[in-house]
Amino acid sequence: MLKRRRFKQTMTLNERLAEEAKRCREEARALAPGHRREMLLRRARQDEMAMQIDSWLRSPGLRAPT
């Protein structure tokens, strides 16, 4: 049976998403308009949306479904 490789994250999910979004935007800024640039900008927007969803899910006002 294969063992899972586990490691403890040193940064929070929001920190990792913010870093990835920033990296994607910086890389896209250096590229000419085209498919690769659009994909990087799309990835940055997805990361930012994931950060918003994560903060919404962690908010104290959120209640469990009944």
- The mean pLDDT value of the chain amounts to 91
pLDDT at residue 65 in the model:
66
How far is the C-alpha of 35 from the C-alpha of 50, rounded, in Å? 22
Lowest mean pLDDT among 6-10, 29-33, 42-46: 6-10
Question: What's the confidence (pLDDT) of residue 23?
Answer: 97
- Within 10 A of 53 (CB to CB), how many other CB atoms are there? 10
* pLDDT band for position 64 (cuts 50, 70, 90): low
Distance (Å, whole) CA 46 – CA 41: 9
Question: Per-domain residue ranges for the chain?
Answer: 13-57
* Coil, strand or helix at 31: coil
User: How far is it, in rounded angstroms, from Cα 46 to Cα 52?
Assistant: 10
pTM exceeds cut of 0.75: yes
